[in-house]
Amino acid sequence: MAFLADALSRIKPSATIAVTQMARDLKAQGKDVISLSVGEPDFDTPQNIKDAAIAAIQRGETKYTPVSGIQPLREAIAAKFKRENGLDYKPSQTIVGTGGKQILFNAFMATINPGDEVVIPAPYWVSYPEMIALCGGTPVFVKTTIENNFKLTAEQLEKAITPKTKWFMFNSPSNPSGAAYSYDELKALTDVLMRHPHVWVLTDDMYEHLVFGDFVYYTPAQVEPGLYDRTLTMNGVSKAYAMTGWRIGYAAGPIELIKAMDMIQGQQTSGACSIAQWAAVEALNGPQDFIPASKKAFEERRDLVVSMLNQANGLVCPKPEGAFYVYPSCAALIGKKAPSGKVIATDEDFVMELLATEGVATVHGSSFGLGPNFRVSYATSNDKLEEACRRIQRFCADCK
């Protein structure tokens, strides 16, 4: 009799975590490695947020919290959704988790039965299908195209929905492509969803504040109020406020779903870290001047990376509207020989050869469900990005 659960055979390790760890290991061996594999802002958490955490410790806010979060944070979350998204939620319709991952996992755990389908546009964040599979559901992938800037069309969504569809998993701006949907693009999708009242929407808005130029951000229930009663809107403080290690995600949605997620979390982790929750209160309620400053830096980095990668032999790199990723195609290099002499048969070969030859860590696109591409995170300094892009250009030029 096998000791490990059968469910483990349905999932695979996170490719982003695996590549990032590989880069760390090479660095530890003394190799000169530039890691562009991790989805983490390189900025420090703003001082006012750190001060709020220190003050919480000094006040003795170090005990267990309610499972769904401390009341001041739930009130701050409701106020944020009203202020920034025009969505009316009561604090009782919100929930706080240990990062966005826990929010998503609890939502799937609370709703998915074996055979239920979840529509996911590809490329997608690596954890979505694995969470769904662990919960016994079936991910239904819909491949987008580079010609459409990696955005799902209404026609594609319509075709993917079946009587078994329970959720539509939506992420804008996208990890890994950076693609963000305009009001009109989103309205086309929500019009489809209004024709299928059995389909719920789980929207991952984690990169909401990282949109560039004159792009205006919208979330599905804001565009189509008719979806309010079947939408779970997930967000967090990790990307906008450079608080990845604080591990605070949150969501708002119908009270029955929130209660179900609370019940699961109560048997799983209970409440998130008390001190991190008080820090998140300050993040949401305090000064917001950190966001435009970091956004400006990310926009400059995006433009730098897009320009340099498009000058590399065989790469095509669209300019995305948001997040801090680009998702270039390396299709023209498939079948060529890397400098080591190895034939590049897949985007994973490309990424591994790039790391071995030039010491630049990226993540292969096939792990996000769409290749031959690779994801570059530009959440690092301009100097490192310039050097990494020069190395990528050199590697591509040496592929024959």
Query: Is 108 in the same domain as 34?
Result: no
Confidence at residue 194, expressed as pLDDT on a 0 to 100 scale? 98
Average pLDDT over the chain, rounded to whole? 96
Which CATH number does the domain housing residue 253 bear?
A: 3.40.640.10
Cβ neighbors of 398 (< 8 A, separation 6 or more) are: 338, 339, 357
DSSP 8-state class, residue 91: G
- As a whole number, mean pLDDT of residues 60-87 equals 98
Using the 3D structure, point to which of 268, 285, 302 is the last residue of a domain.
Answer: 285
| pLDDT surpassing 80 at residue 92 | yes
> Given this model, what pLDDT does residue 398 score?
97
Q: In the prediction, which pLDDT does 24 show?
A: 86
The letter for the amino acid at 110 is A
- Cβ atoms within 10 Å of 64's Cβ, excluding its own: 8
51 in a domain, yes or no?
A: no
Residue 321: per-residue pLDDT: 98
Q: In terms of domains, do 24 and 84 share one?
A: no
To which residue do tokens 């995600």 refer?
249
Question: Which pLDDT belongs to residue 72?
Answer: 98
Asked whether the beta carbons of 236 and 248 are under 8 A apart, the reply is: yes
- For residue range 124-175, what is the model confidence (pLDDT) as tens digits? 999 999 999 999 999 999 999 999 999 999 999 999 999 999 999 999 999 9
Region of poorest pLDDT, from 1-10, 167-176, 260-269: 1-10
**pLDDT for residue 39 is more than 80:** yes
Same domain membership, residue 274 and residue 149: yes
Range of weakest confidence among 24-33, 210-219, 300-309: 24-33
For the stretch 319-372, pLDDT in tens is 999 999 999 999 999 999 999 999 999 999 999 999 999 999 999 999 999 999
State the DSSP H helix or E strand holding residue 49, giving kind and residue range, or none if neither: helix 47-59
Token pair belonging to 71:
């009341």
Tell whether 329 and 383 lie within a shared domain: yes
> 100 with 128, same domain?
yes
Strand partners, 169: 202
The mean per-residue pLDDT over the stretch 289-298 comes to 97
pLDDT of the residue at 333 = 98
Question: Is the same domain home to 157 and 272?
Answer: yes
The three state secondary structure string of 325-366 is: EECCECHHHCCCECCCCCECCCHHHHHHHHHHHHCEECEEHH
Say if 49 falls within a structural domain: no
Q: Which residues contact 291 (CB under 8 A, 6 or more apart)?
A: 209, 240, 241
Question: Where among 238, 254, 285 does a domain terminate?
Answer: 285
For residue 365, CA distances in Å to 125, 141, 234, 263, 362 come to 10, 14, 24, 36, 9
Q: Are residues 277 and 297 in the same domain?
A: no
From residue 372, alpha-carbon distances to 35, 224, 389, 397 in Å are 20, 35, 19, 18
What pLDDT is attached to residue 286? 98
Residue 52 in domain: no
Q: Does 50 fall in a domain?
A: no
**173 and 265 share one domain:** yes
* Structural domain contains residue 148: yes
Residues 275, 313: one domain? no
Domain membership of residue 57 (yes or no) is no
**CATH number of the CATH domain containing 38:** 3.90.1150.10
Grouping H, G, I as helix, E, B as strand and the rest as coil, residue 161 is coil
What pLDDT score does 11 carry?
A: 84
Strands 363-364 and 374-377: antiparallel
Are residues 127 and 208 both part of a single domain?
yes
pLDDT over 90 (residue 10): no
Token pair of 330 as six digits: 């390396």
In a domain, 53, yes or no: no
Query: Token pair of 333, please?
Result: 């290099």
Helix, strand or coil for residue 304? Answer: helix
CA–CA distance from 12 to each of 121, 130, 367 (Å)? 19, 7, 10
- pLDDT (0 to 100) of residue 2: 84
For residue 364, being part of any structural domain is answered with: yes
Q: How many domains does the chain have?
A: 2
Same domain for 268 and 303? no
- At residue 13, the pLDDT reads 81
| pLDDT greater than 80 at residue 16 | no
Q: Looking at 233, 264, 285, which one is the last position of a domain?
A: 285
Within this chain, do residues 226 and 328 fall inside the same structural domain, yes or no?
Answer: no
Tell me which of 33-42, 98-107, 242-251 is least confident. Answer: 33-42
Query: Domain range holding 85?
Result: 62-285
